[in-house]
Amino acid sequence: MNANVLKIARLPDMLTERLFADFAVLDSDEQGSGLGEGAAHIRALVANGESKVTRELLARLPALKIIVVFGVGYDGVDVAAARERGIAVTHTPDVLTDDVADFAMALLLGIARGTAPADRFVRQGRWADGPIAFTRKVSGARLGIIGLGRIGRAIARRAEGFGMSIAYSGRTRQAVEYAWYADVRQLAAQVDFLVVAVGGGAQTLHLVDAQVLAALGPQGYLINVGRGSVVDEAALAQALVTRQLAGAALDVFEDEPRPHPGLLGLDNVLLTPHMASATWATRRAMADLTLANLSAFFDGQPLPTPIPG
Ligand code: DGY
């Protein structure tokens, strides 16, 4: 039987095994290398949140009807090209919201309280030489959230528990009690911690630029759990080197898996490898939803979680 599902991303073993057990799958890369004549039979494509699904790849798959994304973000998918062809796109919202919000707080607390350098301090036997430097208080501080969607709101709820005041920016004011700023620069000027919880794509490209970082200022911290493309990473490295910004904690990067080299030698950054949703429970739930979308497509049933719009 010809394979009719194309897998172009690295996926957790638990999902890959079920994909190969239940569907006729071909493994390839984002260019669809080695597809040959098999391309004509592909009806479904499985990608992840970081995959680039280009117009060129879609053009090579004439029978494609659905792109199933293992992840909530789908900014790498050329949605316009897919829509022109009537190709459906699904993703995995909701099931990862708690984990990403938890991780945003872990990054925020980690960079403010210096947990990574403190761990090194103890391991390297420096404790005996004297006390560690004081760190930054989080409870009661001012939090700004770029993007008050599902994840942004979950971060805000957690921050309320820390007695933080909360403000946000986004296209429109929402029915919440938090202060709203239409302009990200104005938001940055009003807060101590600025968390990026917005998705990627052309509309948010370098939304956090040198001016926003300058507005956040030498006492301010940036946390990014959205997409690397939202932050001008070169400008961020520059602001951190010159201490025009107190610190940054980043889970996502412009060119993953390669953070800007200027960030790597700094002690006022906390870097993690795009792992905010990577708990066993959530990755299982994301795998279930990915398979549910794929099964629904082949069974002719309504798709559980199509992208909005
Ligand atoms: C997502 O779900 O979009 C996460 O960033 C993992 O890709």
pLDDT tens-digit profile, the chain (309 residues): 789 999 999 999 999 999 999 999 999 988 888 888 889 999 999 999 999 999 999 999 999 999 999 999 999 999 999 999 999 999 999 999 999 999 999 999 999 999 999 999 999 999 999 999 999 999 999 999 999 999 999 999 999 999 999 999 999 999 999 999 999 999 999 999 999 999 999 999 999 999 999 999 999 999 999 999 999 999 999 999 999 999 999 999 999 999 999 999 999 999 999 999 999 999 999 999 999 999 999 999 999 999 998
- Cis status of the peptide bond prior to 257, with omega within 30 of 0: yes
pLDDT at 32: 81
- β-bridge partners, 193: 143, 221
The answer to whether 142 is a known catalytic residue is: no
Q: Which of 41, 91, 274, 283 is catalytic?
A: 274
Domain boundaries, the chain: 5-93+281-299, 97-271
Sequential DSSP letters for 104-136: HHHHHHHHHHTHHHHHHHHHTT-GGG-PPPP--
Inter-residue long-range contacts of 62-68, CB under 8 Å, 24+ positions, other chains counted: 63/4, 65/297, 66/90, 66/293, 66/294, 66/297, 66/303, 68/44, 68/290, 68/293, 68/294, 68/297
The number of the ligand 1 atom at minimal distance from the alpha carbon of 227 is 5
Scored b (16 or more CB within 10 A) or e, 185-216 reads bebbbebbbbbbbbbbbeebeebbbeebbbbb
Question: Candidates 11, 46, 50: which one to mutate for ligand 1, based on the most atoms within 8 Å of Cβ?
Answer: 50
Protein fold of 5-93+281-299:
Rossmann fold (3.40.50)
Nearest to 226 by CA among 141, 138, 53, 103: 103
Nearest to 7 by CA among 80, 24, 112, 277: 24
Written as one letter, the residue type at 281 is A
How far is Cα 52 from Cα 119, in angstroms, rounded to an integer? 37
Domain 97-271 has CATH 3.40.50.720: yes
Q: Which residues line ligand 1 (CB under 6 A)?
A: 48-50, 71-73, 96, 277
pLDDT at 3: 94
Tokens read off for 102: 């938890």
Written as one letter, the residue type at 5 is V
Number of H helices, E strands in the chain: 11, 12
DSSP code of 308?
A: P
pLDDT at 34: 80
pLDDT at 35: 84
Q: Which of 17, 56, 84, 256 is catalytic?
A: 256
- Per the confidence metrics, is the pTM higher than 0.85? yes
The number of the ligand 1 atom at minimal distance from the alpha carbon of 70 is 2
pLDDT at 54: 97
Q: Which residue has the tokens 């499985």?
A: 46
Rounded to the nearest angstrom, the distance between the alpha carbon of 50 and the centre of ligand 1 is 7
pLDDT at 273: 98
Max Cα separation, the chain? 69
Nearest to 226 by CA among 64, 75, 39, 54: 75
